[in-house]
Amino acid sequence: MATYIFRRLLLMIPTLFGILVLSFIVIKSTPGDPASGRFGGAAAAQGGMNAERGTEDAEKAFRKNFKLDEPLYVQFFWFVGRIFRGEMIYYTKQGSIWPDLIPAMKITLMINSIVFLLVYLLAIPMGIFSATAPHSTGDRIMTLTLFVLYSLPSFWVAEMLRLGVLESNLGLPVSGLQSPNADRLSLLPWLWDYTLHLVLPILCMTYASLAYISRQMRAGMLEVVRQDYIRTAKAKGCSPARVIWVHALRNSLFPIITLFASLLPALIGGSVIIEYIFNIPGMGKLTIDSVFSREYDMILVTMMLSAVLTLLGILISDIMYVLVDPRVSFESKN
Amino acid sequence: MRRSARRISFSGLAIVSLLIGTQGCFITSSPPVANQGGGDAAAEKLTAAALKMEQAADRLAAAADRLSKLELRVASGTGPAASEATASPTTVEAKPAETAASSTEAKLIREVDELYAKYPDVPRVDILKELDGIEIPRVKAGSGKTLELGAGIPVDVGNPHAANKPSQPVKGDQVIVRFNSEPKSLNPVIEQSAVQTYMGQYIQEALARQDNETFEFVPHLATKWIIEDSVKLSPDYPGKKYRLVMGDGTPRPSAEIEYLAPAKKESQGEPEVMKIVVKTVNEEGQPIAKGWVGLFPIGKILGAPTTGYHNWSNEQGELVISGIIPGKYRVLTGSEIYGKVKPLADGAIEVTPLSEENPLKQALPPGQTSLVLKADEYQDIQRETWMTFYLDPRAKWSDGTPFTSTDLKFAFAVLNNITVDCDAVRTYYSDLTDLDALSPLVVRMRYRQQYFKAFEFGAGIGLYTPPFEFFKNRLKTQTTEPAITGYELTLDRLTEAEEDAQKKVSAHGKRFGKFFNLDTAYNQTPLGTGPYMVESWKKTDRVILSRNDSYWLPERSGYLDKLIFRFLPDNTTALQSLRAGEIDFNYRMDPEQFTKDLAGPPDWFKDKFIKADWYTPNYGYYCWNLNRPYFKDQRVRMALAMLFEKEAFLKNKMYNLGTMVSGSQYYFGPGYDHSVKSVDYSPETARDLLATAGWIDTNRDGILDRDGVKLSFEALIPPGNPVIDDRTALLQKTLKQVGIDMQISRMEWAAFVERLKAKDFDVVTLSWAMPVESDPFQLWHSSGATPESRGSNAGSFANNLADELIEKIRVTLEPDKRALLNYSLHRLLDAQQPYLFLYCSKDLGAYHKRFRGVKWYRLRPGFDLAEWYVPKDEQVHKSE
């Protein structure tokens, strides 16, 4: 097992390098570069640009400084050199990306952890319930509700929720993560304030995944309950609860484990739309803003982070297969 | 880069509104292209030509028919004659309302004509009345007369609550303002985004403050200033002999050089830029430090300043001439003096030193107050380039340190430090050649050459001034650049070795530059002299400014305890946040929200909030790429201008929240010629004009063509602006009706800008935000029209008369004359139509009714939160 894991980790190096090269090429082949963010910025797009003075010379110096006119391979190795030294910078303002990236990552990680916890805590029992009584009225109602939720676009739901909150004077905050006076609050009121700000975004992010995960769980469970050994368990007089929770559950988790591979990168991947609507300074907003202003370092770092986490997620789910199902083994059978 | 209008100078000139001039017209239409060819092709062309003629005849007949109908309508006094009456002024019997309008018009016409009479050297341009015999339709609406500058701006407009309950300004409470984007830094030197500037106006201050209402400069950090002219003495002036030494080593009083363009090499790498080394020496050949060297174009050199390039040699008397526009120049040198210049007879001048600090004052014999120079004793005069500012002794930074000339000298060093990440501001200040601290409270600046914005830049340097003492202390403990921790900050120039030896760090040096760029102490919480201080900056969320209770100018202190700026990019979120009470002032709403969402207004809004709309300097446009063959023809551009339903769009889609413009200066600024009415929507006239230009649908496929080329092009539009989407769709529709095919291509911003700068587009739409009076050079001078130029003249507009006007505008200091030059340029642009000029649109917002003292100014951002207050009994946030 240890050798297997070690081999897999080693294999990740060329894979990551390949991902890096491809991402770099893709990013570089999009038209425009950070100079447009700096000398005709996105803020200027809204207010119009000023025609007063030419910034052509400044732009030239800027491009030279960041090697934007050099051949692609020079730019690539310049980038790779810096990534090993951790010198990831903003092009449009000199300075490291980490002071922005890390807080955004923390916020997204926190929100997504809550969301995933809620989703799994709700979806697994719901899936099991549907599977234990397939095609019953309860199952049908739940399936229908979940599908309706699944098909509702989150930006619309977010807007509706917000309007509902405002119309009914619930007093829930509708944007941001903190009140202006949050600094002056003591710990408990501060926590309460923060929690209130999280209610709407978390609600919006939870409902859609709920349907998906619970359907997966239902399908997994349905397949397992049709197996012979379940019939055997029932035949030998096990209680239905024991059949489900002890005999069936472990095997029915396979699809959920497969989904786990995508869970890790998803934890740090923010939801662009929800973050934008509720003005949450998470990874989604940071990433999309970086893409628009062509902050190459920030884009590549977030891409590489999800690449690493995806590969790790796949590895972990592979290991979990072994743990869940004794029939699966990575040891070679001599 | 954007500049706040508040930083923009012009000497208080009340706007002169003008109306249509009638004499003649200014036409530079291109001749029709003759068909050439042989054989079948020729036969085909002949047939096509015949067809064209036939169609043209049809059109002419149709036009005649329309004209007669029009006359009928006018005669019977019915129908929409107002917009079409221009077609035949002789037959129109003016209605009473129009008579009133035309009498105002006549008055305004007289005013412009008087100006032309007063300044006969200003090239006269008349408003284009007809093109190729086809009359140009003009809109009737909006004379602009009701919106004059200088008038007292009323307070609390549209707030009945404030009217019913009069109150006195009192301190307390706070305002939460919505901004749609966040600055990357709050350091004004390295960041000049609009949002930074808007917050910065409460933190940093200028030497002279521009009055929000009159736009005039009034003393602020400086209590007064004296402005003098620069005079360059002749090289043989007795006692002050100057010589030039060039390549061959012979000293000479003047020289001629030819500056060559860098050879274009196919191989990679930067082309070699020509460098000419010049030395300034005295008669004996000893170098003269900081000697003036002037380069004056011999003949006309496109893009080179007609008033010459002015440079000064270094401490060793050396100067490297490089990067100038290629061409032949006369190189001059001589001693420089300054004072007020008064012309005398026979080319002689009288130079009177005004400031006490002027060395000429000491040099003059006792009892003599001025120096008289004969025509051959001086070579060049640059007006108003020497500025001496006297700082207010009360002025201090928010940490209590006095604001002195050392701070300004520090600013000058930082702005000129090439390591400092301030390329955009540096470009502005590249012509401020000297800044000397004459005493702790007196600072003298020299601008490179005569320029109407020289004072604005000089006085504006206060806005980019970092506190010297603060940085001195910060260096002792900082860890951003460990190599210079504990070093003493100095304004001397030192090498790195000297820095290490003396334990000092130079503000001109690389290491300080890097530290300045990266250190968060000043970048996140900059210190200023203003009425508010940065309390905290929660990244991605808000910036909190708190009132400086020990502000040095108590009479201009703010009332609100805190100004909080929240960054909410999404308009819908911002409106909902207003409703939820999370913000107090929703700045920058879109017209749809402002009119539709707040129609009624809804109950939640009615009792709590006030709507506000106000003008800021801006205009929208479509820019035709004049390198495209079909846009080269003035007639085509003029026809296109007639194909946009400006008035209807303004009314229906912009809910009249704006005004039509016909030129590129600010509608309420001194350079806008109100006598030029926008070209009116008139597809019939456009069709005739296109037919005259040879664009006829010969193959009857619904699209006009000429010589086998279809009139079909692509409009490049930026993302995320519903008004732009709507207007472009409308233009597409109306173009389609006359047989012009316009495809719309929307690109996200970075890609959009890339294509714009590479001039890789047919037509592009955007808007400009500009100062109250802008320098038209960047936009319209032909030096920016080359394909390599990535500047603002994206459409490659090039016109000799425009160049002449622009060059004159830059060096004309007399406000009335400069206004007239701007009018001429305005009329020329209107005739040439390089842009389809659209609107100056209003800024929109909504704020809580408890705020008083609210005024909407006609410059950016249009409000001054330091004037806002909340009556005691209505205050929501009590100060602790």
A54 with A140, same domain: the answer is no
HEC-encoded secondary structure of A159-224 = HHHHHHHHHCCCCCCCCCCCCCCHHHCCHHHHHHHHHHHHHHHHHHHHHHHHHHHHHHHHHHHHHH
A132: distance to nearest CA of chain B, Å? 43
- Do B194 and A44 make contact, defined as CB atoms within 8 angstroms? yes
- Do B576 and A174 make contact, defined as CB atoms within 8 angstroms? yes
A12: distance to nearest CA of chain B, Å? 33
Q: Does residue B295 carry a pLDDT above 90?
A: yes
Helix (H, G, I), strand (E, B) or coil at B106: helix
Instruction: Tell me if chain A has a CB within 8 Å of the CB of B185.
Output: yes
Residues 6+ positions from B431 with CB-CB distance below 8 Å: B447, B448, B449, B451, B454, B457
Q: Does the residue A282 lie in any domain?
A: yes
Q: Does residue B507 carry a pLDDT above 60?
A: yes
Partners of residue A39 in chain B, C-beta under 8 Å:
1, 424
In chain A, the percentage of residues whose pLDDT exceeds 90 is 21
Q: Does the residue A255 lie in any domain?
A: yes
pLDDT at A253: 81
A144 with A111, same domain: the answer is yes
Average pLDDT (B213-222) is: 92
Cα B837 to Cα B441, B714, B790: the distances in Å are 47, 18, 22
User: What CA–CA distance (Å, rounded) separates A282 from A117?
Assistant: 18
CA closest to B773 among chain A residues:
A52
A68 with A26, same domain: the answer is yes
- Do B573 and A278 make contact, defined as CB atoms within 8 angstroms? yes
B500: distance to nearest CA of chain A, Å? 25
Partners of residue B542 in chain A, C-beta under 8 Å:
180
A75 with A119, same domain: the answer is no
**Model confidence at B12, in pLDDT bands (50, 70, 90)?**
very low
Listed range (A44-48, A284-288, B250-254) with the worst mean pLDDT: A44-48
- Do B576 and A163 make contact, defined as CB atoms within 8 angstroms? yes
pLDDT digits over A211-227, tens only? 888 888 888 888 888 88
* Bridge partners for B130 per DSSP: B135
| Domain of residue A251, residue span | 103-152+208-324
| Phi and psi, residue B679, nearest 5° | -65, 135
A77 with A128, same domain: the answer is no
Nearest to B774 among A44, A51, A173 (CB): A51
**Model confidence at B853, in pLDDT bands (50, 70, 90)?**
very high
Average pLDDT (A46-64) is: 59
User: What CA–CA distance (Å, rounded) separates B459 from B206?
Assistant: 6
B826 CB-contact burial (10 Å; exposed 0-12 / middle 13-18 / buried 19+): buried
- Do B539 and A100 make contact, defined as CB atoms within 8 angstroms? yes
pLDDT at B379: 95
pLDDT at A249: 85
**Model confidence at B7, in pLDDT bands (50, 70, 90)?**
very low
pLDDT digits over B171-201, tens only? 999 999 999 888 889 999 988 788 898 999 9
- Do A31 and B792 make contact, defined as CB atoms within 8 angstroms? no
pLDDT at B44: 46
User: What CA–CA distance (Å, rounded) separates A138 from A127?
Assistant: 12
Q: Looking up tokens 């006369």, which residue turns up? A: B330
Q: Does the residue A285 lie in any domain?
A: yes
Partners of residue B605 in chain A, C-beta under 8 Å:
none
In chain B, the percentage of residues whose pLDDT exceeds 90 is 65
Instruction: Tell me if chain A has a CB within 8 Å of the CB of B493.
Output: no
CA closest to A103 among chain B residues:
B539
User: What CA–CA distance (Å, rounded) separates B689 from B642?
Assistant: 10
pLDDT digits over B429-488, tens only? 888 999 999 999 999 999 999 999 999 999 999 999 999 999 999 999 988 889 999 999
Q: Does the residue A202 lie in any domain?
A: no
User: What CA–CA distance (Å, rounded) separates B297 from B257?
Assistant: 10
A118 with A224, same domain: the answer is yes
Q: Does the residue A44 lie in any domain?
A: yes
pLDDT digits over B521-552, tens only? 999 999 999 999 999 998 888 999 999 999 99
Q: Does the residue A6 lie in any domain?
A: yes
Per the structure block, which two tokens stand in for A325?
């199902």
Partners of residue B427 in chain A, C-beta under 8 Å:
53-55, 57-58
HEC-encoded secondary structure of B405-430 = HHHHHHHHHHHCCCCCCCHHHHHHHC
Q: B271 vs A92, which has greater pLDDT?
A: A92
Q: Does residue B290 carry a pLDDT above 90?
A: yes
Instruction: Tell me if chain A has a CB within 8 Å of the CB of B510.
Output: no
A6 with A148, same domain: the answer is no
pLDDT at A37: 66
Nearest to B539 among A61, A176, A281 (CB): A281
Q: B14 vs A49, which has greater pLDDT?
A: A49
Q: Does the residue A122 lie in any domain?
A: yes
pLDDT digits over A146-190, tens only? 889 889 998 899 999 999 998 888 888 888 888 877 777 888 989
The secondary element (H helix, E strand) that includes residue B367 is none
Q: Output the average pLDDT for chain A.
A: 84
Q: Which of A57, A85, A113 is the last residue of a domain?
A: A85
Listed range (B50-59, B285-294, B839-848, B869-878) with the worst mean pLDDT: B50-59
Q: Which of A85, A112, A134 is the last residue of a domain?
A: A85
Q: Does residue B380 carry a pLDDT above 70?
A: yes
pLDDT digits over B603-626, tens only? 999 989 999 999 999 999 999 999
pLDDT digits over B661-695, tens only? 999 999 988 999 988 989 999 999 999 999 999 99
Q: Output the average pLDDT for chain B.
A: 85
Nearest to B753 among A36, A47, A52 (CB): A36
Distance separating the N- and C-terminal Cα atoms of chain B: 40
Q: Does the residue A196 lie in any domain?
A: no
pLDDT at B870: 96
Query: Which positions 540-559 of B are in contact with A (Cβ < 8 Å)?
Result: 540-542, 544
- Do B573 and A93 make contact, defined as CB atoms within 8 angstroms? no
Q: Which of A52, A85, A118 is the last residue of a domain?
A: A85
pLDDT at B664: 93
**Model confidence at B142, in pLDDT bands (50, 70, 90)?**
low
HEC-encoded secondary structure of B685-719 = HHHHHHHHCCCECCCCCCCCEECCEECEEEEEECC
**Model confidence at B739, in pLDDT bands (50, 70, 90)?**
very high
Q: Does residue A41 carry a pLDDT above 50?
A: no
B802 near B782, Cβ under 8 Å? yes
CA closest to A286 among chain B residues:
B540
Nearest to B753 among A32, A99, A181 (CB): A32
CA closest to A163 among chain B residues:
B576
A300 near A291, Cβ under 8 Å? no
Helix (H, G, I), strand (E, B) or coil at A30: coil
Instruction: Tell me if chain A has a CB within 8 Å of the CB of B822.
Output: no
Q: Which of A11, A209, A19 is nearest to A114 (CA)?
A: A209
Domain count, chain A: 2
CA closest to A166 among chain B residues:
B580
Chain A interface, best mutation among B322, B582, B753, B777, by max A CB count within 10 A: B753
B576 near A175, Cβ under 8 Å? yes
- Do B770 and A51 make contact, defined as CB atoms within 8 angstroms? yes
Partners of residue B877 in chain A, C-beta under 8 Å:
181
Q: Does residue A2 carry a pLDDT above 80?
A: yes
A27 with A57, same domain: the answer is yes
Strands B585-587 and B174-179: parallel
Q: What ipTM was reported for this prediction?
A: 0.83
**Model confidence at B85, in pLDDT bands (50, 70, 90)?**
very low
Partners of residue A163 in chain B, C-beta under 8 Å:
576
A145 with A8, same domain: the answer is no
B479: distance to nearest CA of chain A, Å? 14
A216 with A292, same domain: the answer is yes
Q: Does residue B246 carry a pLDDT above 80?
A: yes
**Model confidence at A331, in pLDDT bands (50, 70, 90)?**
low
Q: Does residue B81 carry a pLDDT above 70?
A: no
CA closest to A273 among chain B residues:
B570
pLDDT at B141: 59
A112 with A228, same domain: the answer is yes
pLDDT at B6: 36
CA closest to A37 among chain B residues:
B750
CATH number at residue A119: 1.10.3720.10
Q: Does residue B36 carry a pLDDT above 60?
A: no
Q: Which of B296, B328, B334 is nearest to B312 (CA)?
A: B334
Q: Does residue B48 carry a pLDDT above 60?
A: no
User: What CA–CA distance (Å, rounded) separates B74 from B667?
Assistant: 32
The C-alpha angle with vertex B5 and arms to B2 and B10, in degrees rounded to 5, equals 125
Partners of residue A178 in chain B, C-beta under 8 Å:
538, 541
Q: Looking up tokens 């400006």, which residue turns up? A: B646
Q: B395 vs A292, which has greater pLDDT?
A: B395
In chain A, the percentage of residues whose pLDDT exceeds 70 is 92
In chain B, the percentage of residues whose pLDDT exceeds 70 is 86
Per DSSP (E only), the strands in B113-221 are: 130-131, 134-135, 174-179, 208-210, 217-219
Average pLDDT (B70-88) is: 35
User: What CA–CA distance (Å, rounded) separates B256 from B327?
Assistant: 11
B662 near B837, Cβ under 8 Å? yes
pLDDT at A170: 81
- Do A174 and B582 make contact, defined as CB atoms within 8 angstroms? yes
pLDDT at B365: 92
A285 with A320, same domain: the answer is yes
